[in-house]
Amino acid sequence: MPRFSANLGFLWTELPLPDAVRAAKTAGFDAVELHWPYETPAQDVKAALDETGLAVLGLNTRRGNVPKGENGLFALLGREEEAFAALSESIAYASVIGAGSIHVMAGNAHGNVAHDTFVRNLKVACALAEKHELTVLIEPLNAVDAPTYFLRDMAQAQRIVKEVNAPNLRLMFDCYHVGRTEGQVVTTLERLMPIIGHIQFAAVPSRGAPGRGDVDYEAIFKRIDALGWERPLGAEYKPFGATEQSLKWMETFR
């Protein structure tokens, strides 16, 4: 039976983060995951996690200058100081709340210089994270929603994981992003399972709750279960209204 993690970057965003953790527990989630929680004191989040007994899977490094459209720093030549300051912040926050992974965001870039920069920075990031027993995740974003993001597809990300060759570097496999522009979600997931560190999902193409759209999540969840995956799957979807009203899928897929 699949287990689920509430992505609090999309769900219950109207609530203070500690209250969103409590709402996830009430709704029956097994874990939570975060986007950029840094405006909330880590001890407040830890208190809510301790109260509910929920695990927290991971969080993202800061994106950079968001008003200017930045979406990560680690593939940007000349921004290394900011990138590693963001990583240090993420490691410190993760250490307080007990998160197991950090999604290191590449940013908007392309070409060989960006590739070399990202690989070089990832090697350092993995070494730093390993000291704290943390997994580093990288995630391709689909070309429709994020046309200038450096990581464009799973094949590119797989090559980078192989090149960096760090024991704690894994893929964030988002079924939504794969389904949006790559297709063949199940086949791709089966092929990459040995290097996947986390799995997320949302309906394709709407990015709403699963159950409608082009991707058959009943089949996908059954296949993931059959492959022996035991960690919670990340519900990273847009509820398009009150989160509580979007949760019927949990009963269906359990």
pTM over 0.75: yes
Specify the pLDDT at position 25.
98
Q: What is the pLDDT of residue 166?
A: 98
DSSP letter string, 235-248: E----SS-GGGG-H
Residue with tokens 């027993």: 133
pLDDT at 29: 98
Would residue 236 show up in a list of annotated catalytic residues for this protein?
A: yes
Asked if 49 contacts 19 with a C-beta cutoff of 8 angstroms, the reply is: no
Residue 2 is predicted with a pLDDT of: 83
* 38 CA to centre of own chain: 16
pLDDT at residue 162, as a whole number? 98
Q: Is 190 a catalytic residue?
A: no
Choose the catalytic residue: 14, 81, 133, 139: 139
Give the Å distances, CA to CA, from 38 to 5, 120, 191.
20, 26, 35
Which of 8, 68, 11, 77 minimizes the C-alpha distance to 36? 8
Residue boundaries of the structural domains of the chain: 4-253
pLDDT of residue 254: 81
Q: DSSP code of 144?
A: T
CATH topology assigned to domain 4-253: TIM Barrel (3.20.20)
Q: How far apart are CA 189 and CA 61, in angstroms?
A: 25
Looking at residue 20, its pLDDT comes to: 98
Which residue numbers in the chain have pLDDT < 50? Answer: none
Residue 226: burial class (beta carbons within 10 Å; 0-12, 13-18, 19+)? exposed
Residue 48: predicted pLDDT: 98
List 51, 80, 130, 236, catalytic entry: 236
Exposed/middle/buried for residue 44 (C-beta within 10 Å: 0-12, 13-18, 19+)? middle
Strands (E), 79-195: 101-103, 135-138, 169-174
Determine the Cα–Cα distance for residues 163 and 144; give it in Å rounded to an integer. Answer: 27
What was the pLDDT predicted at 23? 98
